[in-house]
Amino acid sequence: MASLDERIEQRVRAFIAELQSLIQQAAMQAVREALDVGRFGRVRASAAPSRGALPSAPSRRRMATPNGRRSDDQMNHDVTRLEEFVRDNPGKRMEQIGAALHASSKTLARPMTKLLASGAVRRAGQKRGAKYFPAGRPST
């Protein structure tokens, strides 16, 4: 009987060890996925589409200033990217632009305001229905 009890105990210990290993692997995978999230909750380009700040060149890391705002270089980069997108894709709404650039409408609001103020882009429509066009291009 002792040998049967020993075999049962041995199998239970092996099962527990295997279960602990699987739990540890699952926890490590969850941590890796959590650490793969970049600034503004955006998953790095290698994983999945993201939401947040406009994506930039892989070698350039976007760092907020101590007060949490974008630097002038970052803002100019975002304005340039947004202007290029509107020039290449006229008549898009802010939600469509944000989805294409993997950015939230809120993140795009300030660069778009700068483009509208400079006259590089014009808006047709109001609020969420507004469509954006390069300056001088007729709306459709």
Q: What is the DSSP string of 41-63?
A: GPBPTTT----SSPP--TT----
Number of domains in the chain: 2
Same domain? 36 vs 78: no
Can you give the pTM of this predicted structure?
A: 0.50
Q: How far is the C-alpha of 139 from the C-alpha of 126, rounded, in Å? A: 14
Residue 109 pLDDT more than 60?
A: yes
Strand order in the sheet with 121-124: 92-93, 131-134, 121-124
Residue 18's domain spans which residues?
Answer: 2-41
Closest by alpha carbon to 50, among 124, 129, 132, 107? 107
Cβ contacts of residue 18 below 8 Å, gap of 6+?
Answer: none
Task: Establish if 18 belongs to a structural domain.
Answer: yes
Q: What is the pLDDT of residue 37?
A: 52
**CA triple 90-95-98, angle to 5 deg:** 80
| pLDDT tens digit sequence for 36-68 | 654 444 555 444 444 454 554 444 444 555 667
Counting beta carbons within 10 angstroms of the beta carbon of residue 101, is it exposed (0 to 12), middle (13 to 18) or buried (19 or more)? middle
**CA triple 51-72-65, angle to 5 deg:** 70
> Domain holding 92: CATH number?
1.10.10.10
Q: What is the pLDDT of residue 27?
A: 92
Task: Establish if 35 belongs to a structural domain.
Answer: yes
Q: Are strands 92-93 and 121-124 parallel, antiparallel or unpaired?
A: unpaired
Higher pLDDT, 37 or 31: 31
